[in-house]
Amino acid sequence: MCSARDRFRLDAAKPEYQREKYGRDVEWDDVFVSEIRRGLNACKIMACFVPYHLCNNQSVNNLITQAGQMRLSGVPNDAIKALNPIACVILGPVIQKFLYPSLRKLGIPFGPIARMTWAFITMSASMALAAGIQKLIYTRGPCYDQPLVCPDSDRGSIPNNVSVWVQSPIFFPLGCAEILGFTTLSEYAYAEAPENMRTLVQALGQTAAGVGSALGMAVSPLSDNPQVLYLYSGLAAVMILVASTFWLVFRKHDRNYY
């Protein structure tokens, strides 16, 4: 309430400000106000992950459908996404043991905000790869931009002539995005949020995931062929925009880590 009366400036809630402007003493101190500021900052960062969740969810819906439009050679179309956790297992130690120490030795700042920014960029790369592969599918017969539904598909039994393993590269930038994004976000939220706000911040993180899923349902009409190509391209562009905005708004918070 104290900050709301002064255009939601948290500095207005500090005891000294309240004493000077309103002539009253409050029960909290400057440390409490600073903790609230850090907690709200963590909440704002959580909210920025809504489009990230929307993109990440493509691995359990549209990318499975995409795999089904390609030549499977006995591999189930929902098995190829197992490359995602495999990529995380491979890339996790590489990033933790080699990338981070190497950047520190070179004096290159790579704090949590920079890591999450690169998570958005690599997520954009995975969506761009998905768009490129979808375009490749549309260039191959027998059904071109209408996979499995044209008469030449023999009632959906003949996919377009592209190997499903072409989809493999998508899951490596996706895994990198999960390591740089989810892991860093959890660490940052736990470190920044005051102890009495950690549950709230984590709950907001789950809310962001839920909103991302709701957005996925909202854009589901674009999941049909050939519109899904525009969906992947649009998501790639959105994540670049989110990465740029996120870095410009929050990069100052990385200074606390050096």
Pairwise CA distance, residues 220 & 67, whole Å: 17
pLDDT digits (tens, 9 = 90+) for 237-248: 999 999 999 999
Instruction: State residue 116's pLDDT score.
Output: 97
Ordered structural domains, the chain, with CATH: 29-257 (1.20.1250.20)
Residue 78 has pLDDT above 60, yes or no: yes
Mean pLDDT of the chain: 88
Query: Predicted confidence band at 61 (pLDDT cuts at 50, 70, 90)?
Result: very high
Average pLDDT over residues 69-96: 94
Average pLDDT over residues 153-171: 94
Residue 1 has pLDDT above 70, yes or no: no
pLDDT digits (tens, 9 = 90+) for 143-154: 999 999 999 999
Instruction: State residue 20's pLDDT score.
Output: 62
Query: Predicted confidence band at 191 (pLDDT cuts at 50, 70, 90)?
Result: confident
Pairwise CA distance, residues 231 & 233, whole Å: 5
Residue 98 has pLDDT above 90, yes or no: yes
89-109 burial: b if 16+ Cβ within 10 Å, else e: eebeeebeeebeeeeeeeeee
pLDDT digits (tens, 9 = 90+) for 21-36: 655 665 655 566 666 7
Of 252, 258, 257, nearest in space to 41 by CA: 252
Name beta bridge partners: 71: 163
pTM above 0.85, yes or no: yes
Residue 158 has pLDDT above 90, yes or no: yes
Pairwise CA distance, residues 121 & 191, whole Å: 24
Q: Three-class SS of residue 85?
A: helix
Query: Predicted confidence band at 4 (pLDDT cuts at 50, 70, 90)?
Result: very low
Residue at token pair 């589901």: 220
Query: Predicted confidence band at 14 (pLDDT cuts at 50, 70, 90)?
Result: low
Higher pLDDT, 38 or 158: 158
Pairwise CA distance, residues 94 & 92, whole Å: 5
Q: How far is CA 86 from CA 38, 82, 153, 165, 175, in A?
A: 35, 7, 33, 15, 8
Instruction: State residue 2's pLDDT score.
Output: 46
List the helix and strand counts (H, then E) for the chain. 11, 0
pLDDT digits (tens, 9 = 90+) for 198-235: 787 888 889 999 999 999 999 999 999 999 999 999 99
Radius of gyration of the chain (CA): 23
